[in-house]
Structure 1
Amino acid sequence: MTDHAHTPRRAIVTAGDSGIGRATAVALATAGMDVAITWHSDQAGAEQTAEEVRTHGARAITGQLDVADIPACGDVIDGLIAELGGLDVFVNNAGTGTSTPFLDLALDDWKHVIDTDLTGAFVCLQRAARAMVAAGNGGRLIAVTSVHAHQPMVGSSAYDAAKHGLDGLMKNLALELGSAGISAVSVAPGEIATPMTGQTDVDPHTQDRPGIPLGRPGDAREVAALIAFLASPPAAYISGASVVIDGGMLQMGPQAGASIESHEWRKA
């Protein structure tokens, strides 16, 4: 068993071109890390993130990554690790989903979500973990999952299955990699005001969400602050956990069941 007090200096954040990914890259830079930022289609967004990272005195590099391009996505991660000169923190943030009823979901759409959210994540996490083990300094593997790794949502069968699988994978990594000083943690956001939820540049405090105890969506910077803490030395003993950040949403199960007065929720 190895105990590492290594201070993290180099991080990769996938899908760092906007939303949670961008906020996370900036938060890690603020904590003193150089950051590699990947983008799928929005290169300009990734460059904007990189510019913001550099304002905090950190080094930033960018690279295109299609997590569904398997196994080539792993080669991209290897290249970024080499360019950074090593890796201490890997944040698996890239993901996709559908809003399609189970009975109507096409097999190709199912495969794309599973490839992006689970199989591609496996490949990228494995490459990151191999580099950490080889370096011998421990490390942090952090996967952005979802509240839907814990509870399902109508129309999200592929997404729910993939996020449940990713959460299970992270638990296994905690078991297998702990002896190398590597922790594995899932971060499970609820509704966050980001482009993915159709809330680009929206102040979440202006949005009314009666079904969330705190009454609003979350801010990407709130999720990023949690990830930055989990990547920090004080969080070294957290591993195998799924840390939910959802404004209390998951506590609404029986309460919502007792309060919903129409069958509209059944529709995707």
Structure 2
Amino acid sequence: MSSDFSPRHAIVTASDSGIGAATAIALAEAGLDVGITWHSDEAGANRTADAVRARGGRAVVTRFDATDLENAASVIEALADELGGVDVFVNNAGGGSGGPLLDLDLAGWRQDIGLNLDGAFIGMQAAARRMIAADRGGRIIAITSVHEHQPRVGSAAYVAAKHGLGGLVKTMAQELGASGITVNAVAPGEIATPMNDMESEDAEETHRPGIPLGRPGKAEEIAAVVAFLASPAASYVTGASWAVDGGMLQMGPQAGSHLVSDDWREG
């Protein structure tokens, strides 16, 4: 794939707030029109759309439920139709309920796997099919988590799904490379978003001694990496997982040997 790739249309799932909203805005600043999806916060999606339009981009808003496995692909198809295509697809929809492994029932397990892995597969596959049909190359970027790489007590289904999504990214990169489509993951650490009961401005005021950079990240810091991976400059990057975590993943042995209680076992 050469650096001649010139994206015009992007879809960012779950772009009503947080990382998704920041990503949609970053892509608009790069000159792209953006398809924005929401699941429960339509007003937030419309705010993102207004921000995209304020930057000169066209915005299309639709509801998307990544767990509605029968209809998820058709929603992405319709959104691509309305946009005029999809050159960049960012799978941002995700989340997890958590709880001890021994208390996790099959319905809870399936809910987290369905949202974080099954729904991601359907959306990414639908986008890939459109990109191949258009024969212009493309960028597929999955927002995973540091838990794509490292586990967390009390999050078995979420961790399993994110590990699986990381494997899906790598396999898609192998299969789609010949069509000029790159596939990468961005793995955030703790990010100051509404999901974590914070806003970006809270990041600088929140101390995290276990993170080398000493604070949570900002949604805009994730979006900047996504925007790079979506750009012509990232033409030779595929099958990679970019940890954007302030150095959190580097702390395993250091943190493990310095814990002073067993509190971590409770999640």
| Interval containing the TM-score (normalised by the shorter chain) | over 0.9
Q: Give the Cα–Cα distance (whole angstroms) in 1 for the partners of residues 73 and 242 of structure 2.
A: 26
Bigger mean CA deviation after superposition, 242-251 or 195-204: 195-204
Shift of 1:199: 1.3
Q: Give the Cα–Cα distance (whole angstroms) in 1 for the partners of residues 64 and 228 of structure 2.
A: 25
Shift of 1:203: 1.9
CA offsets, 1:228-267, max 9 Å, x none?
A: 0110101111000000000000011010011100010001
Who is 1:104 aligned against?
103
Who is 2:154 aligned against?
155
Structure 1 residue runs of 4+, over 4 Å off? none
For the 8 Å contact 2:23–2:227, the answer to whether it is kept is: yes
Q: Give the Cα–Cα distance (whole angstroms) in 1 for the partners of residues 98 and 258 of structure 2.
A: 24
Q: Give the Cα–Cα distance (whole angstroms) in 2 for the partners of residues 221 and 202 of structure 1.
A: 11
Shift of 1:126: 0.5
Q: Give the Cα–Cα distance (whole angstroms) in 1 for the partners of residues 131 and 163 of structure 2.
A: 25
Q: Give the Cα–Cα distance (whole angstroms) in 2 for the partners of residues 131 and 3 of structure 1.
A: 19
CA offsets, 1:67-113, max 9 Å, x none?
A: 00002011100000000111100000000112201011121111011
CA offsets, 1:180-221, max 9 Å, x none?
A: 000000000000000111214542010010111111000000
Q: Give the Cα–Cα distance (whole angstroms) in 2 for the partners of residues 180 and 94 of structure 1.
A: 25
For the 8 Å contact 1:71–1:120, the answer to whether it is kept is: no
Q: State the one-letter code of the partner of 1:162.
A: A
Who is 2:40 aligned against?
41
- TM, length-normalised to structure 2: 0.98
Shift of 1:149: 0.3
Superposition pairs of residues 86-97 of structure 1, within 5 angstroms: 86-97=85-96
Q: 1:255 to 1:201 in 2, by over 3 A?
A: closer
Who is 1:133 aligned against?
132
Provide the secondary structure at the position in 1 that maps to 2:153: coil
Q: Give the Cα–Cα distance (whole angstroms) in 1 for the partners of residues 218 and 46 of structure 2.
A: 21
Q: State the one-letter code of the partner of 1:30.
A: E
For the 8 Å contact 1:136–1:180, the answer to whether it is kept is: yes
Who is 1:26 aligned against?
25
Who is 2:66 aligned against?
67
Q: State the one-letter code of the partner of 2:103.
A: D
Q: Give the Cα–Cα distance (whole angstroms) in 2 for the partners of residues 145 and 79 of structure 1.
A: 25
Q: Give the Cα–Cα distance (whole angstroms) in 1 for the partners of residues 37 and 235 of structure 2.
A: 25
Q: Give the Cα–Cα distance (whole angstroms) in 2 for the partners of residues 238 and 46 of structure 1.
A: 30
1:180 aligns with 2:179: yes
For the 8 Å contact 2:3–2:233, the answer to whether it is kept is: no
May I ask how many residue pairs the two structures share in their alignment?
Answer: 267
Who is 1:123 aligned against?
122
Who is 1:55 aligned against?
54
Structure 2 residue ranges without an equivalent (≥5): none
For the 8 Å contact 1:211–1:252, the answer to whether it is kept is: yes
Who is 2:228 aligned against?
229
For the 8 Å contact 2:200–2:218, the answer to whether it is kept is: no
Q: State the one-letter code of the partner of 1:33.
A: L
Shift of 1:36: 0.4
For the 8 Å contact 1:14–1:94, the answer to whether it is kept is: yes
Bigger mean CA deviation after superposition, 106-115 or 200-209: 200-209
Fraction of identical pairs, as percent: 59
CA offsets, 1:34-58, max 9 Å, x none?
A: 0000000000000000000000000
Who is 2:211 aligned against?
212
